[in-house]
Amino acid sequence: MDHTAVITRYIVDEFVPDIGVDELTADYDLFAGGVIDSLALLRVIDWLGTRFQLSLDDVELSPDNFRTIDDINAFIGTAGAQQ
């Protein structure tokens, strides 16, 4: 399932609240762009766990899985499928 819109809304509200959701593309590198860093990623992961009811104990939380909104969307699919 495609969660791109929900993720984009969250990232925009939390980190770049002055922009419109259409200004953040799903392939934008959130780390290189300074939108999130390793610490902010903890917040994103907390949110993912709650919002999508994922159990994140046994999944690889490498920043590379969260570099873009597309990556995060794919991560939800993978983490959800493991349950």
Partner 1 sequence: MALRSQVVPALLEHARTSPSAPALLWRGAPVGYGALAAMTRSAAAVVAELPPGPVSVVAEKTPETVALVLGCLAAGRRVLLPAATLPVDTVSGLHDRAGCVAVLAAAADGTSNAARLTTHVVDVHAAPSDHPEPDDADEVAFLLTTSGSTGVPKIVPLTSVAVERFALWADEEFDLGPGRRVLNYAPLNFDLCLLEVWGTLRAGGCVVLADPERATDGVALLDLLVAQDVHVVQAVPLFYELLLAAVPGARVDGVDRVVVTGDAFRPDRLPALRALFPNARVDNVYGCTETNDSFSHELRPGLTEIPIGTPLPGVRALLVREDGTVLHGPGVGELLVTTPFQTPGYLDSPDRFTSHPDGADDLRYFRSGDLVRRTADGSLLLEGRTDFRVKVRGQQVDTLAVEQVLLDHSGVLEAAAVVVPDQRAGNLLHVVVRTDGSVNSLVLRKHCAERLPPAAVPSTLRVSKDPLPRTSTGKVDRKHITTTMELVI
> Residue numbers of the site for partner 1 (CB under 8 A)?
15-19, 23-24, 31-35, 37-42, 57, 61-63
Cβ partners under 8 Å of residue 11, min gap 6: 24, 30, 35, 36, 44, 69
Which lies closer to partner 1 via its Cβ, residue 1 or residue 50? 50
Name the minimum Å distance from CB 57 to partner 1.
Answer: 7
Separation of alpha carbons 9 and 28, rounded Å = 14
Least CB distance to partner 1 at residue 52 (A): 19
What is the rounded distance in angstroms from the CA atom of residue 12 to the CA atom of residue 4?
12
**Closer CB to partner 1, 12 or 76, in the complex:** 12
